[in-house]
Amino acid sequence: MKNGRLRKRASAVALNVFIAALAILWLVPVFWLVLSSFRAEQGAYTPYLWPKGFTVDNYIRLFTNRKLFDFPRWFGNTLLVAGCSCAITTILTLMVAYVYSRLRFPSRRFLMNASLVLGMFPGFMSIIAIYHFMKAVNLDQTLLALILVYSGGAALNYYIAKGYFDTIPKSLDEAAILDGASNSTIFWKIILPNSKPVIATTAINAFINPIVDYIFVSVIMKDNYNNFTVSKGLYTMVDKTNIYEYYTVFCAGAVIVAIPVVLLFIRMQKYYVAGVVGGSVKG
């Protein structure tokens, strides 16, 4: 018995040490990025880890030196595109998931399978066709084009939300129908209030995608400097002609960009562990 407890304790300690090591490995790049954003020395590389001097000039230059790199405008563009595409994508994804989960109609199974297969293909495979389509309708190099691109494939990512909707008891729907509720009422007043975890997951993923994407914005915007998002704009700071002078400013920009994502996650993280559905139906 004693040996068994010792083995369990040893395995628990080993597991905790392993998890701590993984956490440290994950935090080291973040710590290095923040440290570099306050580094007084210029250049991308230094032979030492700890800076010899600290300064906030990198953050000041980021927002005041706008002749070559207009970060405030790029940041505003990114928040606009991310916010709009987040709202559109979340609503469309949840609506499609509700239809597939609750309604029965001809070709439902075919549409679900077709959406699932199409969603497996990487988005950049269609990037040339998307660009020429946007150019044909005079939307190339516009923020509206980015919003349409990021929210256009929302219906293809229904399966996670549908799987969650399937766990919500259908007796809630039946009771609402007996009271005269329509499908729209059931969706907005019953399903969504009981689906906060999946709403949070969908919204966070939809908000992050425009922030981290570089490929689509590079193709659609081309050289339209004023409509860059932060991913495209910050990349221009670290090309071979600017990396020495602007690398630490780039690190400061990366830290600023991470703040909205971190705040959004902190605001919504409680919904990931909430037992929303449990106990909602009384026997």
Q: List the helix and strand counts (H, then E) for the chain.
A: 13, 0
Torsion angles phi and psi, residue 54, rounded to 5: -120, 150
Check: CB of residue 281 under 8 Å from CB of residue 168: no
Mean pLDDT across the stretch 37-44?
86
Over the stretch 191-202, which tens digit does the pLDDT of each residue have? 888 888 888 888
For residue 235, give both structure tokens.
């990349």
The CA distance from 263 to 90, in Å, is 18
32 Cβ contact partners less than 8 Å away, ≥ 6 residues apart: 49
132 vs 135: CA distance, rounded Å: 5
Percent of the chain clearing pLDDT 70 (strictly above): 94
pLDDT of residue 242: 83
**Which tokens is 199 given?**
């709403």
Concatenate the DSSP letters of all residues of 214-253 into one string: -HHHHHHHTT-GGG--HHHHHHHHTSTTTHHHHHHHHHHH
Q: Which residue has the tokens 């670290």?
A: 238
Contact 43, 245 (CB under 8 A): no
Alpha-carbon distance 190 to 184, whole Å?
Answer: 10
Q: In the structure, what pLDDT confidence band is assigned to residue 3 with cuts at 50, 70 and 90?
A: low
Other beta carbons within 10 angstroms of residue 206's beta carbon come to 24
Residue tagged 């993984």 (tokens): 22
CATH 1.25.10.10 fits 67-272, yes or no: no
Mean pLDDT of 166-173: 85
Q: Which of 217, 227, 263 is nearest to 70 (CA)?
A: 227
Region 115-134 average pLDDT: 81
Residues 6+ apart with CB under 8 A from 154: 88, 89, 90, 92, 93, 96, 206
Quick check: 69 pLDDT over 70?
yes
* Residue 39, phi then psi, degrees to nearest 5: -75, 135
Per-residue pLDDT, 252: 92
Longest dimension (CA), the chain: 76
**What pTM value is reported for the model?**
0.83
Q: Tell me, what's the pLDDT at 85? A: 93
Query: Residues 190-215: what's their mean pLDDT?
Result: 87
Tens digit of each residue's pLDDT (9 = 90 or more) over 253-272: 999 998 888 888 787 777 65
Q: Is the pLDDT assigned to residue 273 strictly greater than 70?
A: no
- Among 41, 33, 37, CA closest to 59: 37
Residue where the block lists tokens 């597939």: 100
Q: Output the pLDDT for position 1.
A: 55
pLDDT at res. 279: 30
